[in-house]
Amino acid sequence: MRALWIAGLLSVLLFAGLAWYLAPLEPSVLRLQLAATPRAFGSIVHAWPAEHLMRFRAHLPVDALLLLAYGAFGYLLATRTEVLARLHPWVRRAATWALPMAASLDAIENALHWWLTGVPRFGVPLAYAGAAAAAGLKWLLILAFALVVSIALARRGPA
């Protein structure tokens, strides 16, 4: 249980800290995450002043800690607690791996974004599409996990 609490608290603190740190970026980081073409990606990066691009790149190592934390949290919540116990076994199994898989996709997205923001990259549309696909799937898995946990908690009733 201790590891679960540490992973959960670390996830919340890192997420809040990164949200605060990245808040000045306009267009938002979420828009960049979902920019699937070189043109869409470039229009966002070029709208940022140089210090905002440096801020974005500087956040990526901290985001790596966040993805490790939330991936561990999801796995531990699903395997070490009774929160999902009343759900169908395949739902529990899917939920067990939802956040670790989201974290893996987040790592792919971060690696591609690190590479794509290092210098202008032309002629690699699949890299932009891959980063956006990884980000989109990551967010879908995170939302699906939250929905499954919410349903499981609602079925449990009052504590």
Contact, 60 vs 110, CB < 8 A? yes
Q: Quote the CA–CA distance of 119 and 129 in Å, as a whole number.
A: 17
Contact, 27 vs 20, CB < 8 A? no
For residue 107, what are its two tokens? 């790592």
pLDDT in tens, 65-114: 999 999 999 999 999 999 999 999 999 999 999 999 999 999 999 999 99
Contact, 41 vs 62, CB < 8 A? no
The alpha-carbon radius of gyration of the chain (Å, integer) is 17
In the chain, how many domains are there? Answer: 1
Residue numbers of the domain that contains 27: 2-156
Spacing of C-alpha 152 from chain mean position: 22
pLDDT in tens, 25-79: 999 999 999 999 999 999 999 999 999 999 999 999 999 999 999 999 999 999 9
Q: For 90-127, b where at least 16 C-beta lie within 10 A, e where not — what string?
A: eebebbbbbbbbbbbbbbbbbebbeebbeeebeeeeeb
For residue 74, what are its two tokens? 């999801």
State the pLDDT at residue 116: 97
pTM: 0.94
Q: Quote the CA–CA distance of 85 and 68 in Å, as a whole number.
A: 24
Contact, 148 vs 92, CB < 8 A? no
For residue 27, what are its two tokens? 């267009």
Phi-psi region of 158 (alpha: psi -120 to 50; beta: other; left: phi over 0): beta
State the pLDDT at residue 159: 59
